[in-house]
Amino acid sequence: MDQILLTYILPVYNTERYVLRALQSIVDQKLEPAQYEVLVVDDGSTDSSRSLVESFSQDHPQVKLLSQPNAGVSAARNLAIDNARGRYLMFVDSDDYLNGDVMPALLRRAVDNDLDVLSFNYCCKDTRGNDLPHTRDDNYATTGVITGPEFLSTHSMTPYVWRFLLRRDYLLRNSWRFDPSLIVCEDGSLIAKFLLNAPRMAHDDCVVYCYVKRDDSAMHNPDPDHLRRRIFSQVDAAASIDATARDYEKATGLKAPASVDGLRNVYLYFSMTKALVCGMVSEVVERIRQAGLYPFPCVGPESDYHGMKWKIIHIPMMFPGLWKILSKVYRMIK
C-alpha cells in the first residue's frame, strides 16, 4: 500500500482538552505517513484548539488544518470530504480516539475486498479513560462481503458515522453529503443512504473506536433555542431516513429492512420525550405531522429501544393532548 489510501476527517470546535489525544491515536496507528492524511477542520474554535493542531502538524506533515467560520459539524465534514484524497474516509470526533494499532489490518481488508463500506466495533469511555457499559448492545461478529441491505436485515442501524470506513468515490458518485441544517442526528440521515445502497460491505469485529461520553458536550446544552433546534433536527433526520427508505423501496421493489424504520422511530421517540420535558409538545407534534410521520408506529425489536417500557410510552404519545398534560405535570414536579 504505497498511495494515499485513507483520509481521517476530524472536525474541531473548542476541544482543546481532547484534540491532541485524538491526533496522537491516529498517528500511532503505524500506517506509513505517505498512506494517509488527516484533515482537521477548525469550525471557528474560540479556545486554543487551532494552535494546538498547528503545533502538532509541524511534526506530522500528514496532518493538515482547514478552517471555516462556525457552521457546525456537518459543514466541517463536508469541507473535508471535498478536500480529501484518500481512497477511504474515516470520521473521528475530536473528543474521541482510536484503539491500539488496528488500522493497518482494517484498511488492508477494505482494499483487498474492494469494499464500499466496512463497519467495526467500538467501546465507550468516560473522560478519564475508564470503560463504560454500552448503552446499545451492537458489537457484532465479523461477516463476509455482503450488501448493505443484507447487513441491515440482521443488524440494527447504528447512528454513528465514525463506525465506518467509507470508499470516498462511493460518496462522491452519489453526491452524498451531511445535511448542514441538522445539528444532531446528521449521522443517521447519511448512514441510511450509504448502507441501503452499498453493493459491497463487510463488518469486522475489531474494537477500533473509543467513544468518550462527556457531560459538557453540545448534546447537553440546556439553552432553550438550542434545545428547540435539536428536537426539530431529530424530527427532520427521521423524515430524511424515511424518505431514503421509501426511495429504496421504489427503486428495488423490496421492503426496506426494519432496522431503518427502527432508527427513524427512535429519533421520533427522542423528539417526543424532549418535547415533554421542555413543554414543546404542540410544536413538535406539528413538525412530525408536517413530515407525514404522525402517528408513528411503536419501536419494535429491530431497535435496542423496545419492550414493555416503550410500548407503554407509545400510548400517550399518540394522544397529543394527553402528552401535553403529562408535560405540564412533569415540569411542575421538576
Q: What's the angle, vertex CA 122, arms to CA 195 and CA 115, rounded to 5?
A: 35
Query: What pLDDT is recorded for position 136?
Result: 67
User: Mapping DSSP to helix (H, G, I), strand (E, B) and coil, where does residue 227 land?
Assistant: helix
- The answer to whether the beta carbons of residues 62 and 32 sit under 8 Å apart is no
Task: Evaluate if residue 1 carries a pLDDT over 60.
Answer: no
Q: How far apart are CA 302 and CA 260, in angstroms?
A: 8
Among residues 80, 47, 78, 75, the alpha carbon closest in space to that of 65 is found at 80
Residue 305: pLDDT band (50, 70, 90) is confident
Let me know: does 310 contact 299? Beta carbons within 8 Å.
yes
Per-residue pLDDT tens digits for 45-104 = 999 999 999 999 999 999 999 999 999 999 999 999 999 999 999 999 999 999 999 999
How many percent of the chain have pLDDT more than 90?
Answer: 85
Using CA atoms in the order 262, 140, 9, 210, what is the torsion angle rounded to 10 degrees? 110
Local structure of residue 146 (DSSP, 8 states) = B
Question: What pLDDT digit, counting tens, does each position of 225-270 carry?
Answer: 889 999 999 999 999 999 999 999 999 999 999 999 999 999 999 9
Is residue 147 within 8 Å of 201, Cβ to Cβ?
yes
Model confidence over 32-41: pLDDT tens digits?
999 999 999 9
Neighbours of 306 (CB within 10 A): 16
Q: Could you report the per-residue pLDDT of 140-184, keeping only the tens digit for each?
A: 999 999 999 999 999 999 999 999 999 999 999 999 999 999 999
CA distance 295 to 254: 23
Percent of the chain clearing pLDDT 70 (strictly above): 96
**Which three cell numbers mark 76?**
466541517
pTM of the model: 0.94
- In this predicted model, what pLDDT tens digit does every residue of 202-217 receive, in sequence order? 999 999 999 999 876 5
- Dihedrals φ, ψ of 164, to 5°? -135, 145
C-alpha–C-alpha distance, residues 242 and 266, integer Å = 12
Q: Which pLDDT belongs to residue 224?
A: 76
- Please count the other Cβ atoms lying within 10 Å of the Cβ belonging to residue 178: 20
Residue in the structure block whose three cell numbers are 450509504: 194
Residue 217 confidence (pLDDT): 56
